[in-house]
Structure 1
Amino acid sequence: MKFERLNEIENILKINGSVSVNDLSKRFKVSKETIRKDLDYLSSKKKIGRVHGGAYSFEYNKSVPYSARDKMLVNEKKEIASIAADLIDDGNTLFIDSSTTSIQVLKKLLSDGKKLKVITNSLTCANIALKNDNIDIYMIGGSLNKKNMSFKTQTPEIYNSFNADYAVLSPSGIDVKCGITDKSASSSKMLSSFIKRAKHTLIVADHSKLDSVSAFSVSPLTEIDGIITDKINDSNSWQSAAQKYSFFIKEI
């Protein structure tokens, strides 16, 4: 029975991206303590990630729609965003990708009353811009990916038309050896261009993306200025890399 429950919990997470202890307790008709032990076990086997009150799938950034990702690790993303926003000045121009963490940075900047120019492929950014006079937005258009709420351009040379003070990005993979990577050829090309054409690059990502490598290379760690995350699993390796490649890494 326990083995079947563990398998089903994994399947639920693969489909939904995240789940709460309360929901699983009701679904399986077992105590919350039993569910916590199940989640702790799966986490110890590195099959899922644990957060207070629930768990999430390590594959969420690759397979789960934006609407689901937007509800995951919300408090952690907001704290990451708060640190990043303090580094960005009023009047700056930003490259922002379509990740939920980068969007949180934008929301924090606007709540602080900062005026911004934003260059993005994110439909969510565009919707935010409609409701706020402090943001001028420049869209990189193309075919719409409804799942990720973002556009894929057919003319990548358009990236060379823009420059920015900061690139605020949350790629799917960040690794000491392989650097910055992402899950598709088109998105990796966009992120690479953003990094090259920005004065500074901030990587904002929860811990599930650290020590992860995706299929397509974006840039080496030498080209970024900092990583802001909620938790570092291998602190010694990352601190050594930060010193070697001259970037900062900060936990919330």
Structure 2
Amino acid sequence: MLKKERHDIVMRQINLHNRVLTSDLVQLLDVSEDTIRRDLQELSDQNLLYKVHGGALSKSYHSTFDDSTVYAKEAKIIIAKKTIPLIKDGMVILTGGGTTIIELVKQLPENLQATFFTISPLVAVELAKYPKVEVILIGGLFSKNSQITYGGHVINQLAEINADLCLLGTSALHPKDGLTDTDWEINQLKKRMLSSSRKSAVLCISEKLNISLRLKVTALENISYLITELSPADVKLEEYHVNGLKLL
């Protein structure tokens, strides 16, 4: 495989999942760890990603102030606008982090009156722009990789919340394996967030469909809404028509 082809695959993986592990890329591309390290360093030198210990992070994942590098931005805006009708005045909302959630926050009605709990400082910054929204940032250890708070203290705080709606972005969604992730801490957070909410919505660009990662968060049947940029009748969503899950 040519280096350019490897680089294209690496960038697709990081755009889809926001972070990649060197070990996963070694398996995916069937090359040595040294080769992957060199590839990541070259892409970092081109200012296309952040190289970190054990892998790399997306450039667009780390700032709400420069959204010029947000991957699939138009699709995420469509998803955001489809999600807005689920959010009503007086609701208690629990959110994760990520660029899709940030795009959603940017589309909220200016006079919305609601309470938002979030584990993402970047999401909290965007929510703070709304005068009638109460913003509660759940504090704990801060993950430099995922840009969210995590750990036992965060999970304990989440256990005390009874939210009307949980809004989650995702790295992967599969018709049989459901919602999955690669990071153990994030996995535990998402499980706790879902159990602390009466309803849940997963916001997912269609490129992340039919992908299964190593750690399971929950089955499709335990999610209230799946929101993509596609029409619910799209053939790509055929296998996602399951009991308990509404497609938007």
Establish whether TM, by shorter chain, passes 0.5.
Answer: yes
Aligned pairs, number = 204
Q: Give the superposition deviation at 1:140.
A: 1.8
- The 3-state SS of whatever aligns with 2:111 is coil
Report the Cα offset of residue 138 of structure 1.
1.6
Are the equivalent residues in 2 in contact too, given 1:225–1:246 (CA < 8 A)? yes
Q: Deviations over 1:217-252 (max 9, x none)?
A: 1111111111111248x955743442x3231223xx
Q: CA RMSD in A?
A: 3.0
**CA deviations over 1:26-65 (Å, ceiling 9, x no partner):** xxxxxxxxxxxxxxxxxxxxxxxxxxxxxx99xxxx8424
Provide the C-alpha distance between the structure 1 equivalents of 2:146 and 2:2, rounded to a whole number of angstroms. Answer: 33
Change (3 A) 1:237 1:16: closer
Q: In structure 2, which of residues 130, 140, 143 is the aligned counterpart of residue 142 of structure 1?
A: 140
TM-score (norm 1): 0.70
After TM superposition, the structure 1 = structure 2 runs for residues 1-252 of structure 1, keeping only pairs within 5 Å, are: 3=2, 5-10=4-9, 13=11, 17=15, 63-65=57-59, 66-67=61-62, 71-109=70-108, 111-155=109-153, 156-231=155-230, 238-242=237-241, 244-250=242-248
Paired position in structure 2 for 1:51: none
Instruction: Provide runs of 4+ in structure 1 moved above 6 Å.
Output: none
Name the CA distance, whole Å, in 1 between partners of 2:4 and 2:171: 29
SS of the residue aligned with 1:211? coil
The alignment partner of 2:107 has SS state of helix
- Contact 1:239–1:249, Cα closer than 8 Å, also in 2: no
**In structure 2, what is the Cα distance between the partners aligned to 1:197 and 1:117?**
15
Q: Compute the displacement of 1:171 (Å).
A: 2.0
Q: Which moved more, 1:65-74 or 1:125-134?
A: 65-74
Runs of 5+ consecutive residues of structure 1 not aligned to the other structure: 19-55
Query: What is the percent sequence identity of the aligned residues?
Result: 18
In 2: Cα distance, 1:222 partner to 1:118 partner: 25
Helix, strand or coil for the counterpart of 1:190? helix
Instruction: Report the AA paired with residue 86 of structure 2.
Output: L
Q: Provide, for residues 131-164 of structure 1, a one-character-per-residue CA deviation record: whole Å limited to 9, x for no partner.
A: 3322212222112223432111332222211011
For 1:97, the aligned partner's letter is G
